[in-house]
Structure 1
Amino acid sequence: MNLYNLGKALCNGVLRPLHRLEVIGAENIPTTGGVLLCSNHIDNLDPPIVGISSPRTIHFMAKEELFRLPILKSILPSINAFPVKRGMSDKQALRTGLQVLKDGNVLGLFPEGTRSKTGELGQGLSGAGFFALRTDATVVPCAIIGPYKMFKPLKVVFGKPLDFHELRERKATADEATESIMNSIQELLEKNK
C-alpha cells in the first residue's frame, strides 16, 4: 500500500466519523482522464476531506511554505502534493499541474488560494481558469459545507462537470474561466446548505 492510500485509509477512519461526513455527487468525477477538481477552502482539513471523498487519487497543489516544515517536506511529495509559490506566477507549479492533467490524473485546487476567514466564497485566482483552458481536462466544481465541529455534519458535494467547450473555442481569458468555476461552486454551496 502506498503512502497516499495509507493516509486516505487513516483519514477515512478518523475524519469520516468525527465530522459525520456526507459525500454527494462522487459519481460526477469521471473514472478516467484528466480532471480539474476545484473546491472552496474553509479549513486546513479541506485537502484530506476532499481526498477521502473522491473515488480517485488527487494531486494537490500546496503552498510552498508547507514544504519547508521538517516532517511535511518528506511526506507531501509522497502523497502527490507539489509546491506553489503564492502571490506570483509560479511557472514550475503551472507546468507540474498541466502535466498532472495531461497524464490523465486528478488535479485538486482551491482557487481562492487561501482559506476563507468568513466561510463565504472568496475571489478565485486565475490559475484555475488557466488549467481549465490549457487542457481538455474535465472541470468538476466541489463545495465543502461546514462547520468543522466535532460530530456536526460536514458535506462534500461534487457538482456535474462544467462545459468549457465554448470558453475554449473563443479563447476566453483565465479570469473568465475562473469566474465560471467560482459561480458553479457558489451554486453548489447555496443548493446544499
Structure 2
Amino acid sequence: MNLYPLGKFIMSTILYPLYRIKTIGKENFPKEGGVLLCTNHIHNFDPPVVGITCPRPVHFMAKEELFKAPILKTILPSIKAYPVKRGKGDREMFRRTLSVLKSGNVVGLFPEGTRNTTGELGKGLAGAGFFALKGNVNVVPCAIVGPYKPFRRLKVVYGKPIDINPYKERKASAEEVTAVIMEEIRKLLEQNKS
C-alpha cells in the first residue's frame, strides 16, 4: 500500500500555511536516478517538511522503536520509511539504503544523526560519506532554515549536487566526504539566513 501521495497532500495542506514554507533551489534536484539527500535536523517536522517540498518521493530511516507502535508499524512502510537500529552497526539498514539508492530512488538523511536545537550545524556522522561513496548517486545538500514558529517563514533550500567522483578517485574516507557534505549544508544555511 502506497500512502505517500495522500500523506504528502495532507501534510502540505497543514504545514505550508502554518510555517509559510518557501522552497528554494528545486531546479537543482536531479529529475531521475538515485539521490542521497542530506539535510540539517532542527525539528521533528523535518522529515514531512522535506517530504512535501522535495520534487520526488523521499525514503527516510526512522528509529526502529516507531515500527513497534500499533498504528505506525502499518503507516511508516506505506510512506517509504524503514527502520534503523540506533547506536549500533545496523547491517540490514546499510543494505537497504544502498538498495534504495541503486534502484534510482531518493534517500533522505540527517547526517547529524539527531535533532540539533542549538541553531548551529553539528558534526556529521560518517554514514553520510559512506552512502555517498558506495551508492554511486547524486548527493544533494539541503538546508532547513528555521525557526519553526507558526506563521513565520520557514525556508527549505536545495543546493546543487556535490560531485563525489574526485573523492572516490583518491579513495577519500567516509569522514572526509561527510565533512564536505556538511560544509555545503553550512553554506546554504549562511546564504539563506532570514
**Per the shorter chain, which TM-score range?**
over 0.9
Match of 2:31 in 1: 31
2:67 aligned counterpart, secondary structure: helix
Match of 1:73 in 2: 73
The alignment status of 1:171 with 2:171, answered yes or no, reads yes
Q: CA deviation at 1:119?
A: 2.0
Q: CA deviation at 1:173?
A: 0.8
CA distance in 1, matches of 2:30, 2:168: 20
Match of 1:153 in 2: 153
Counting matched residue pairs gives: 193
Match of 1:95 in 2: 95
CA distance in 1, matches of 2:179, 2:57: 26
Q: CA deviation at 1:67?
A: 1.5
CA deviations over 1:63-99 (Å, ceiling 9, x no partner):
2222122221111111000111111211100000000
**Unaligned 5+ residue runs, structure 1?**
none
Q: CA deviation at 1:146?
A: 0.6
Q: CA deviation at 1:128?
A: 0.6
Q: CA deviation at 1:2?
A: 3.5
Match of 1:12 in 2: 12
CA distance in 1, matches of 2:171, 2:89: 20
Equivalent pair of 1:86/1:113 in contact (CA under 8 Å): no
TM-score by length of 1: 0.97
**Unaligned 5+ residue runs, structure 2?**
none
Amino acid at match of 1:43: H
TM-score by length of 2: 0.97
1:139 aligned counterpart, secondary structure: strand
Match of 1:184 in 2: 184
1:149 aligned counterpart, secondary structure: coil
Q: CA deviation at 1:16?
A: 0.4
**Which contiguous aligned blocks of 4+ residues in structure 1 show a shift greater than 2 angstroms?**
none
The alignment status of 1:114 with 2:144, answered yes or no, reads no
CA distance in 1, matches of 2:155, 2:117: 19
Alignment RMSD, CA only?
1.0
Amino acid at match of 2:33: G
Equivalent pair of 1:12/1:52 in contact (CA under 8 Å): yes
Amino acid at match of 1:147: P
Moved more, 111-120 or 3-12: 111-120
Equivalent pair of 1:62/1:84 in contact (CA under 8 Å): yes
1:61 aligned counterpart, secondary structure: strand
Amino acid at match of 1:27: E
Amino acid at match of 1:52: I
Q: How do 1:124-163 and structure 2 match up within 5 A?
A: 124-163=124-163
CA distance in 1, matches of 2:157, 2:117: 20
Amino acid at match of 1:175: E
